[in-house]
Amino acid sequence: MRIDVLTLFPEVFEPYVASSIVGRAVAQGIVSIRCTSFRDFASDRHRSVDDRPFGGGPGMVLMCGPVFDALEHVEAQSETKPLRILLTPQGEKLTQSVVAELAKAPRLVLLCGHYEGFDERIRTGIAAREISIGDYVLSGGEPAAMVLIDAVVRLLPGALGDEASAADESFTAGTLEYPQFTRPREFRGMEVPEVLLSGDHGKIAAWRREQSLERTLERRPDLLEARQYMALD
């Protein structure tokens, strides 16, 4: 997969895309991530990318010119037609099923808005899928783009060391993940549940399923409503 990020702050992505699972996926060639600055596409000598809003009001608004030029520039670098994504608090909520859908695309272009907002003609003119990572306002789309990149990249084949781990996790199965334990068996008086030491794989699987359902019922009952259950559940 190729991911292009269009942003005013390309430098904030560098350490992130070089670390952990995303960094390993980049190193293995599973994904390539390139960041492009809108500022490189400014047309005046001050390299302006924003201006005061027509009609007045506080703050500055990201201008059309640098955004359209940057987008057209990166899209022309490859024949593969990308899925355009605009990060905005007004977009559809990012969920695991949206992430799984995005992970199937060969190419994504992520556009990060900034400052007080962007010219409405960016939204209407580029016809991107608009995505929000939650009901709160960030100062820019950059943290949202990083969240999206992380969630998508870990679903790409080969990105996780153990392929089973993505399938097991919270949300993939529509329920929250069961609790995990590692050595030591006892820590400050807190014991590891006996069943996990039993070596009985059937019992362990049943215990994990029960924990997962119990946790979901307790913390996120909304996730259970839409689900179909097996007799065992």
Residues near ligand ADE (CB under 6 A): 87-89, 113, 132-134, 136-138, 141, 144
Give the shortest CB-151-to-ligand ADE separation in angstroms.
Answer: 13
Cβ proximity to ligand ADE, 107 vs 114, nearer residue: 114
Q: Which is nearer to ligand ADE, 31 or 62 (CB)?
A: 62
Q: What count of other Cβ atoms lies within 10 Å of the Cβ of residue 41?
A: 20
DSSP string for residues in 181-205:
--S-SEETTEEPPGGGGS--HHHHH
With CB atoms as reference, the residue minimizing the distance to ligand ADE is 144
CB of 59 to ligand ADE, least distance (A): 14
Taking the least distance from each CB to ligand ADE, the nearer of 140 and 174 is 140
Q: How far is the CB of 36 from ligand ADE (least distance, A)?
A: 18
Identify which of residues 134 and 158 has a Cβ nearer to ligand ADE in the complex: 134
Name the residue nearer to ligand ADE (CB basis): 43 or 139.
139
Which value, in Å, is the radius of gyration of the alpha carbons in the chain? 22
Task: Identify the three-state secondary structure at position 129.
Answer: strand
Residues 6+ apart with CB under 8 A from 218: none
- Min CB(174)–ligand ADE separation in Å: 23
Phi-psi region of 70 (alpha: psi -120 to 50; beta: other; left: phi over 0): alpha
Structure tokens at 201: 């794989």
If one counts every other C-beta atom within 10 angstroms of the C-beta of residue 218, the result is 9
Minimum separation from the CB atom of position 56 to ligand ADE (A): 23
In the numeric block, which tokens belong to residue 79? 């024949």
Nearest to ligand ADE of 151, 213 (CB atom)? 151
CA distance 210 to 89: 36
Q: What contacts 28, CB < 8 A, 6 or more positions away?
A: 158, 159
| Minimum separation from the CB atom of position 97 to ligand ADE (A) | 17
